[in-house]
Structure 1
Amino acid sequence: MGFRRLNCRVTVDTTKMSLPNALNAINNAEKTGKRQVLIRPSSKVIVKLTHSSIGEFEQVDDHRSGKVIVQLNGRINKTGVISPRYNVHLSQLEKWVVKLLPARQFGYIILTTSAGIMDHEEARRRHVSGKIIGFFY
């Protein structure tokens, strides 16, 4: 019988390309059953990107770039970053939903718009278009 690791934290130092590395860390922590992930440098984009599929998060100010401790609740199946960031008009949004998400009303595409960072459903409600940052489901 083997020993079970009780350490529930994964630490990731993302210096370059912070969004893909942070999402990869969240994805890997979900797959291995971790309960929380420490991501640095912190970014509002990362927290906004996974707003409904994570538990609570805590921002820690370390007088540098900051850290975010994300509590995972086991609801993320896959995350991804879209690079290059394609311009998406409101009329083209459904095409991207079909292309990136596995089923209707399952998952979110994250857009950066002139009104801020939001998911595709909120962008549809506000009638704004923008650039695709990433997706998760």
Structure 2
Amino acid sequence: MVRMNVLADALKCINNAEKRGKRQVLIRPCSKVIVRFLTVMMKHGYIGEFEIIDDHRAGKIVVNLTGRLNKCGVISPRFDLQLKDLEKWQNNLLPSRQFGYIVLTTSAGIMDHEEARRKHTADQHFKIDCR
């Protein structure tokens, strides 16, 4: 069976493992988008270290969980987003100003909404809702 959205499947695996209280989760297949998304999550302390395993197929990622993640998911379909509309999306998607991040794919790479505002870039978005 073909996976339609690899990132959505990976984030669902992380959510399910976090709800069950697991310490690690195995994500497959591996992609550059997943690795960059996990890097943003790790930078903000929602997950621990992760290891990429090359099995000469699609690859695997082993993620260490810290127990700090409440929910993360993909906004589907991806919407084009302008910087002036970012505040509106932030109010609609995030539970509070102090919690969570919206992760954007921009021409400058994958980054959270605060970094996109600092760099003045915004294109499409995903969501990490973490408390």
The SS at the match of 2:126 is: strand
The SS at the match of 2:61 is: strand
Question: In structure 2, how many angstroms separate the alpha carbons of the residues matched to 1:133 and 1:78?
Answer: 12
Identify the residue that residue 43 of structure 1 maps to in structure 2.
31
- Conserved? CA contact 2:99–2:129, under 8 Å: no
Greater length-normalized contact order (CA 8 Å, ≥ 6 residues apart): 2
1:37-90 CA-partner distances (Å, limit 9, x unpaired): 010111232243333310000011111111110000001101111111111111
1:103 is aligned with what amino acid?
Answer: S
Identify the residue that residue 22 of structure 2 maps to in structure 1.
34
Tell me, yes or no, if structure 1 residue 25 matches structure 2 residue 13. yes
Name the one with the larger helix percent: 2
- Conserved? CA contact 1:100–1:135, under 8 Å: no
What is the percentage of aligned positions where both structures have the same residue? 61
How far apart are 1:21 and its partner, in Å?
1.1
- Conserved? CA contact 1:42–1:66, under 8 Å: yes
Structure 1 segments unaligned to the other structure (5+ residues)? 1-13
Computing the radius of gyration from Cα coordinates, the structure with the larger value is 1
Alignment of 1:1-137 (within 5 A): 15-49=3-37, 50-51=41-42, 52=44, 53-137=46-130
1:60 is aligned with what amino acid?
Answer: I
1:17 is aligned with what amino acid?
Answer: N
Runs of 4+ in 1 over 6 A off after TM superposition: none
Structure 2 segments unaligned to the other structure (5+ residues)? none
Name the one with the larger strand percent: 1
The SS at the match of 1:38 is: strand
- Conserved? CA contact 2:81–2:123, under 8 Å: yes
TM-score, scaled to structure 1? 0.84
Q: Give the length in aligned residue pairs.
A: 124
